[in-house]
């Protein structure tokens, strides 16, 4: 597949191939990530529908049977916990790449684990379903944390003029896979058979893994190096801790099951609380580090503002696959101009908007910068929060219209997803950039993992609310979330001078 996307380099004799002027290994990584995102977003488009299928909420939504017959609140909690774990696993995934296997081997193992997870989901039964979710989350953490590192290894350091363009192409691969997935996996899963859809996700990851293994010869030799390998003593210590933790958890849950007390919440609540506690603990550990200079401490104080803002943003944004998805199936007309379509297709809107609008925003920021009018990072974060809040204020309108059973126009969701994507483009790439700029030297690599923990914290907040019985599909709750986001946006804007002072020279 990679060879069909390559061309002769103008700077070589013609025997060496490049990928649109970039190292040939970028084609391998482009296709690997495209297929991985195809599998991930395809399965994610089906997840809530499969969970409620066969139950009261599933029948109300008009879904075919064969699912797990859960109520929508439980499905939302599971969805939120699953998404949060994908991002939480990026931290141990990065650790394996740095200290155990090296980035290249970790990506290969991660792809294999993801593939196994999707095929497990293709087997009917609740036990296989949760095993599959766990495998996909763990594998995604291994792959996600290391594949970007492999892209960086293709270039001659940070100053290579091709580097930014290479990451842009890689980003297109991500969104291309996410865009196509709901049309293929979503349609088959929602309209034919849930498990066929999950199996297609597994086939997609298998294609990505084969592509990766064939193309590893085009990757940098540096990608096989373990940067900071564990010593024999450290390996032993890690093994003891892991085995001890697994045994303790196994004994605890065996006792709970033995006493007949086990319910799904015995699994969901601890995971959700961990997803909230771990980000706080990681930030606190970095803050308490006495090796940090006063300037680095100040930057970390400023970074906490961005972290909390991002957590609030993702708390609302990631409901696009749960709350908005349920509304799409239950309360939105499933046709445009007389042409019907599955509700999973709405999940293609975000990647479509990203591919269409990302170049526009890149141009816009440069144009404003030339005029010395580009908003700084603080203002962009404030804009993102106001926009994501506004999207939920807009959402309140069709929710009210659908209160009497009316099916609302699909254009409401088309508009809501567009507003959220504009907010994403104000926050996500900017957040990655400011994280690298404000990271203490000692934690340069780990801070990107910390940034992903903001997603974990936001989604776990949603999960905890669902577990507590809060109706996340209620108009009043949607309005409260919208108000929270807008208020947070205005708070950051009001305190922008204070935050800027904490950031020092970073803008």
- Predicted confidence at residue 2, as pLDDT, reads 36
- Predicted confidence at residue 164, as pLDDT, reads 67
- Predicted confidence at residue 317, as pLDDT, reads 96
- Across all residues in the chain, what is the average pLDDT? 89
- Predicted confidence at residue 193, as pLDDT, reads 96
- Helix, strand, coil percentages for the chain (3-state, nearest 5): 80, 5, 20
Within its chain, how far is the Cα of 462 from the centroid? 15
The mean pLDDT of 389-404, rounded to a whole number, is 95
pLDDT band at 261 (very low <50, low <70, confident <90, very high): confident
324-340 pLDDT, tens digit each = 999 999 999 988 888 88
Q: CATH says 277-507 is which class? A: mainly alpha
Instruction: Specify the CATH architecture of the domain 1-7+16-229.
Output: Up-down Bundle (1.20)
Burial status of residue 9 (CB atoms within 10 A of its CB: 0-12, 13-18, 19 or more): middle
> Per-domain residue ranges for the chain?
1-7+16-229, 232-260, 277-507
Nearest to 23, CA basis, from 143, 135, 153, 137: 153
Nearest to 428, CA basis, from 350, 314, 342: 314
Percentage of residues in the chain with pLDDT exceeding 70? 95
445-489 pLDDT, tens digit each = 678 788 889 999 999 999 999 999 999 889 999 999 999 999 999
| 3-state per-residue secondary structure call for 440-472 | CHHHCCHHHHHHHHHHHHHHHHHHHHHHCCCCC
- In angstroms, the CA 81 to CA 180 distance is 25
Nearest to 278, CA basis, from 71, 49, 473, 452: 452
- Predicted confidence at residue 306, as pLDDT, reads 94
pLDDT band at 1 (very low <50, low <70, confident <90, very high): very low
Q: CB 491: neighbour CB atoms within 10 A?
A: 15
- Predicted confidence at residue 241, as pLDDT, reads 93
Tokens 């290579």 — which residue?
160
pTM given for the model: 0.90
């Amino acid at each position: 597949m990679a060879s069909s996307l390559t061309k002769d380099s103008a700077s070589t004799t013609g025997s060496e191939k490049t990928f649109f002027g970039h190292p040939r290994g970028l084609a391998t990584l482009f296709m690997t990530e495209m297929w991985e995102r195809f599998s991930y977003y395809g399965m994610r488009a089906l997840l809530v529908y499969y969970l409620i299928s066969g139950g009261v909420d599933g029948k109300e939504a008009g879904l075919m049977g064969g699912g797990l017959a859960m109520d929508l609140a439980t499905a939302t909690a599971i969805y939120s916990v699953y998404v949060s774990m994908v991002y939480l696993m990026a931290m141990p995934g990065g650790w394996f790449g740095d200290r155990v296997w090296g980035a290249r081997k970790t990506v290969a193992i991660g792809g294999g684990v993801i593939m196994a997870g999707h095929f497990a989901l293709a087997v009917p039964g609740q036990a296989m379903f949760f095993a599959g979710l766990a495998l996909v989350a763990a594998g995604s953490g291994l792959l996600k944390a290391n594949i970007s590192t492999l892209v960086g290894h293709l270039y001659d350091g940070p100053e290579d003029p091709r580097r930014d363009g290479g990451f842009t192409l890689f980003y297109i691969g991500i969104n291309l896979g996410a865009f196509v997935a709901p049309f293929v996996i979503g349609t088959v899963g929602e309209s034919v058979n849930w498990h066929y859809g999950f199996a297609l996700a597994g086939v997609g990851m298998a294609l990505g893994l084969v592509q990766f293994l064939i193309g590893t010869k085009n990757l940098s030799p540096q990608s096989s190096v373990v940067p900071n390998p564990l010593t024999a003593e450290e390996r032993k210590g890690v093994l003891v801790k892991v085995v001890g933790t697994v045994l303790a958890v196994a004994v605890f849950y065996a006792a709970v099951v033995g006493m007949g007390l086990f319910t799904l919440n015995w699994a969901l609540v601890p995971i959700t609380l961990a997803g909230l506690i771990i980000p706080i603990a990681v930030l606190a550990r970095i803050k308490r580090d006495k090796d940090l200079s006063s300037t680095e401490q100040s930057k970390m104080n400023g970074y906490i503002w961005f972290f909390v803002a991002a957590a609030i943003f993702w708390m609302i944004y990631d409901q696009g696959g749960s709350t908005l998805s349920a509304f799409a199936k239950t309360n939105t007309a499933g046709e445009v101009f007389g042409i019907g379509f599955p509700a999973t297709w709405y999940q293609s809107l975000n990647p479509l908007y990203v591919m269409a609008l990302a170049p526009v925003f890149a141009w816009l920021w440069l144009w404003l910068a030339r005029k010395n009018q580009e908003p700084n990072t603080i203002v962009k974060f404030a804009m993102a929060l106001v926009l994501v809040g506004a999207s939920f204020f807009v959402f309140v309108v069709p929710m009210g219209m659908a209160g009497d059973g009316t099916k609302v126009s699909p254009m409401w969701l088309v508009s809501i997803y567009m507003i959220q994507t504009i907010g994403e483009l104000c926050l996500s790439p900017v957040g990655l950039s400011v994280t690298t700029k404000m990271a203490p030297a000692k934690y340069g690599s780990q801070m990107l993992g910390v940034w992903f923990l903001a997603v974990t914290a936001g989604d776990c907040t949603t999960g905890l609310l669902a577990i507590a019985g809060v109706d996340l599909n209620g108009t009043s709750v949607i309005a409260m979330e919208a108000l929270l986001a807008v208020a947070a946006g205005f708070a950051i804007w009001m305190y922008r001078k204070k935050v800027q002072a904490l950031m020092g020279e970073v803008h």
